[in-house]
Structure 1
């Protein structure tokens, strides 16, 4: 069963990594998965939260940082070293099929920390702002999904790495929004405003 799953994962990886090859994806996907590409968005979130919600905005930013810290800590520091799955771009049996679109790196593959972190942040922000801005749901999910897909396209993760990172990220995002809501009701009382 496990061998069949790994085979399916490898075949799906190659269909995405090689089968979807085109000049536009070759240009945009390395950018999408680059953390510096999104710096203006992160800066906008910080400025928006502080300007719009004052002190409460700092707690929203704190929630984003907590979601990221939990996602990165659990995926990169706990799960990856224990699973030890080799990245597809470092897999010897795939060496002649890999298109080197970005540096591979020496880290492990399962789960994708990019997927975990971005889904955790997206779900947290959706939880905070959904009542006021319904559009944040499809935008947030599409944003995290695009970054996750890019990880497969550039060759640094298998689809199952990304899928499991997505599930982990969603769970972490839900946990973080629960912590935020608890703080909103019990600890900070009127300090954190209800985002309506």
Structure 2
């Protein structure tokens, strides 16, 4: 059964990494998965939260940072060492099938820490703001999913890596947001 799952994962990888190849995605996807691309967004979230919600906004930022810290540490320092899955671009039997659009890196692949981190942000903020802004959750999840797909497109993660990372990050984001709402009286 595990062989069937890995075969499907490889097929999905090929469909995205090779099947979607085009010059626009070759330009866009490395930008989407670059951590520096999103610094203005993160700064904007911090400024918005503190300016709009004052002390509660500062707590929001602290809880959001905690959310990302837990998701990042859990993914990179706990789960990756347990699973020890090679990245597609480093998997010896598979790397000839990979179009590597960014440097591969030496780290492990499962789960994707990019996916964990970005979905933890998206879901944490969605739990807090979904009532205030009707389309917020759809936009936040689309943003995080685009980053996940870009990780596969550039050749550094398999689809199941980003899927599990997204689930893991979503769970962390949801739980920490509920904890925040339990202890900080917050109305968006």
* TM-score of the aligned structures, taking structure 2 as reference length: 0.97
Corresponding residue of 1:182: 182
1-structure distance, mates of 2:155, 2:85: 14
Name the CA distance, whole Å, in 2 between partners of 1:89 and 1:174.
Answer: 32
Question: Residues 86-107 of structure 1, C-alpha deviation per residue, up to 9 Å, x if partnerless?
Answer: 0001111223222221111000
How far apart are 1:169 and its partner, in Å?
1.1
Bigger CA radius of gyration = 1
**CA RMSD after TM alignment:** 0.9
What residue is the counterpart of 1:189 in the other structure?
Answer: none
What pairs up with 1:85-164 in 2 under 5 angstroms? 85-164=85-164
Corresponding pairs, count: 188
Distance 1:180 1:73 in 2: 20
Does structure 1 retain, via aligned residues, the 8 Å contact 2:100–2:156? no
4+ aligned runs moved over 3 Å, structure 1? none
Residue in 1 aligned with 2:21? 21
Unaligned runs of 5+ in 1: 185-191
Aligned to 2:79: 79
Aligned equivalents of 1:4, 1:135: Cα separation in 2: 37
**Structure-2 separation of matches of 1:96 and 1:83:** 23
Unmatched segments (≥5 aa) in structure 2: none
Partner of 1:65: 65
